[in-house]
Amino acid sequence: MSVRVWIVGVGMTPFGIHRDKTVNQLTQWAVGDALADAGAATEQIDAAFFGSATQGLLQGQVMIGGQIALREMGVQSIPVYNVENACATGVSAFGLAVNHVKAGAGDVVLAVGVEKMHVDDPARSMAVFDTGYDVSDPRALGKTLEELGGVLDEPDLGRRSIFMDIYAAMARSHIRQFGTTREQIAAVAAKNHAHAVDNPRAHYRKAMTVEEVLAARTLSFPLTVPMCAPVTDGAAAVLVCNDDGLRRLRAAGAVEVLAAVLGTGTDRDISTFDGHLSTRVSARAYAQAGIEPSEVDVAEVHDATAFAEVLQTEMLGLVEPGEGGPAAERGETALGGRIPVNPSGGLESKGHPIGASGLGQLFELTEQLRGTATGRQVEGARVALAENGGGFHRGEEAVTSVVILRKGTS
């Protein structure tokens, strides 16, 4: 007999700069809100999965971060697992929590992700991104980027994450194959900045036009600063349960988890996007959920850059290959369009606290399915999809997760 899994509580701090908050305080803020949302107490949590990708490097807490952060708010005795999976850290914690419930190991399980990336030395904050690829062979990265995007003679464009160069190379490959334009990528960024205006938890809440996006400082062609996610602090938490836990908590607004699938890359021809990791992972998720891409009403995708949204909407089957840019330009992925994508503002505007980003997506989609996303609500949303990727290895993301949710019908 299959076990149904429900999201019963969500919590999320505002994403932004929290110089006066510690990792532990951010964790407790998000978890406290998730428990309050579920009407649950700490004593009702059977297990917890704690995700952080940068705490070891930036705060020096290399081990037992979850045990320390959660003990301070009364989470004791239960199993606490610490999770790291690059930008997919939080959603990896979520997938483990879902599987923990499915396995019958607990009725009510917590997933939480947190980062405090703003520290006194900005160079240390940027250095964390240099650990998201194969550090044993750094020259291989340069060869891969050259293979993807060609040789680019650019002047010193200022401080930026290596991942902006990675996404820029992938964007140039897409431009070469499909004719995607810089204006179309800018249309994605402008859309997401507009969406974030009505998100009180977003890092940036200023609308921008396509022209303003294009006129901003270039990071690496074709990307400008507003096309890229900022360095962000924040935490997000999700409480999941089975039917027994749902009855015990008596929480309103439960959202059903139809699929939570995670996968890693394969050795493939990176000169084409055929067989991309997200295509394979999403196919498994759609099969597990028993739906087709056309049944998705709203999506949150991993737009660490605006180009990434272009790519992911295609790889997820939400638009046809090569149509990610044109669809955004036509307004199909905006609120009120055929398939709204990133109504939260996405990582570009909502922010990207690495270990919390995936759970932040689930916070947004839970609000959408509950009908409580004031100002950015997708009307009639019943099925939602979240895609969250992390790292870079041999031409694509090192890991990708796809989660599919459905409005509760318990």
Provide the 3-class DSSP secondary structure of residue 117. coil
Closest of 190, 274, 337, 253 to residue 34, by C-alpha = 253
Provide the 3-class DSSP secondary structure of residue 107. coil
Q: Give strand pairing partners of 85.
A: 87
What CA–CA distance (Å, rounded) separates 359 from 366?
10
Total residue length of the chain: 410
Q: Is 241 an annotated catalytic residue?
A: no
Q: Cβ-count burial of 287 within 10 angstroms (0-12 exposed, 13-18 middle, 19+ buried)?
A: exposed
**Choosing from 174, 193, 195, 352, which is the catalytic residue?**
352
Closest of 214, 321, 219 to residue 275, by C-alpha = 321
Amino acid letter, residue 345:
G
**Choosing from 18, 87, 195, 393, which is the catalytic residue?**
87
234-241 β-sheet, strand order: 80-83, 47-51, 108-115, 234-241, 6-12, 255-264, 399-407, 383-390, 298-300
| CA–CA–CA angle 309, 114, 372 (5° rounding) | 60
**Residue 65 contacts residue 55 (beta carbons within 8 Å):** yes
Q: Is 352 an annotated catalytic residue?
A: yes
Structure token pair of residue 159: 């401080």
H-type helices in 117-225, by residue range? 122-127, 138-149, 162-178, 182-196, 210-215
Return the sign of the alpha-carbon dihedral for residues 145, 148, 154, 160: negative
Catalytic residue IDs? 87, 352
